[in-house]
Amino acid sequence: METIELTRKELYDIVWSTTLSKLTQQYAYSNDGIKKLCKQYEIPMPDGSYWSKLKFNKKFKKEKLNPAFGGVDKIVLTLREEGNLINVDQTPLTIRTHEIENDPNAPLIVPDKITKPDILTIQTKQYWQGKISFTSYREDNRITYPIRVKKTIENER
């Protein structure tokens, strides 16, 4: 992946001139990833009303960048490759999940019937079918999920 090196001032200028959604399209970071970078480098970000005020030429307060920063003034950002939805700030599990979901050869078929359901699933199903009734939690130590379904789906059980 290609990277770009910026100073705090350059990132500050980018953050205040480009919306967060466009930044996530340009750089391989999520919204939270960009916010964390700005927090780490003490770069103020515009609030939610900034962009609409800017659009309609309303007055707004642009926070200034504090020049006193004790850290390194070099920020390396990863550029997003076209068509690549993976963010560098994601966990390895999330990255692998995206890879599997986007792989046309991956066997992602969910069966209509669960072959080995968990005991909680069985008890919840029995409860909603009316085979189990709870009058008090102390009388029965079974746990059910608070599932709400439409009447049409409920009749299909």
68 shares its domain with 17: yes
Q: How confident is the model at residue 45 (pLDDT cuts 50, 70, 90)?
A: very high
Rounded CA separation 11/17 (Å): 10
26 shares its domain with 81: yes
Q: How confident is the model at residue 137 (pLDDT cuts 50, 70, 90)?
A: low
Task: Calculate mean pLDDT across residues 23-50.
Answer: 92
**Residue 12, domain member (yes or no):** yes
Q: How confident is the model at residue 151 (pLDDT cuts 50, 70, 90)?
A: low
Rounded CA separation 6/4 (Å): 7
Task: Calculate mean pLDDT across residues 92-103.
Answer: 83
Q: Torsion over CA of 77, 78, 83 and 84, rounded to 10 degrees? A: -120
23 shares its domain with 56: yes
144 shares its domain with 92: no
pLDDT in tens, 115-124: 888 887 787 7
Number of domains in the chain: 2
129 shares its domain with 58: no
Q: Domain limits at 125? A: 119-154
The pLDDT score that the predictor gives to residue 91 is: 84
75 shares its domain with 125: no
93 shares its domain with 126: no
66 shares its domain with 95: yes
